[in-house]
Amino acid sequence: MGTQKFRNCTRCAKAFVATAAQRVCPSCAKAEEEQFRAVKEYLNRNPGSPLAQVAEATHVRPDVILAFLRQGRLDASHAPADARLVCAMCGAPILSGSVCANCHKRAEAELTRAAGALGHQQGHLGQAKEGPDGRGPTHKRRQS
């Protein structure tokens, strides 16, 4: 009963009682927090150090450091020089996430356009034309 659920820790695979937001068991969460702090501190003192050097100095696996970086938890201007993230769409250097601001904007514009086209079609069916340039009504924008 209740909302408690057993889940397997994504780091050590141990089963533990998890709330919705927990992916790792409490002891791994603590370890991860300590690793994060170690990496952050090291990079604050030695900004731009090579990934391998950071990993060796902090005893944190490079892929874990990269994950911290990707999550935007590390100061990107201190990130290891050889671990800068690049946009998955155009390859431009980025600070966090997986695509650059430009591609993000473009993807969002495309989404909006797709949603607008949908709304326009629906409006078109029941009503007369809005105008010759095909600009549809925008008051019925859907949030998702």
Residues at the contact surface with Zn ion, assessed by CB under 5 A: 9, 11-12, 14, 25, 28, 87, 89-90, 92, 100, 103
CA distance 58 to 44: 13
Closest distance to Zn ion from the beta carbon of 24 (Å): 5
Question: First vs last Cα of the chain: how many Å apart?
Answer: 31
Closest distance to Zn ion from the beta carbon of 31 (Å): 8
- Closer residue to Zn ion in complex, CB, 38/103: 103
How far CA 13 is from CA of 30, 63, 74, 75, in Å, comes to 15, 18, 26, 30
Q: Name the maximum alpha-carbon separation found in the chain.
A: 69
- Closer residue to Zn ion in complex, CB, 52/76: 76
- Closer residue to Zn ion in complex, CB, 89/95: 89
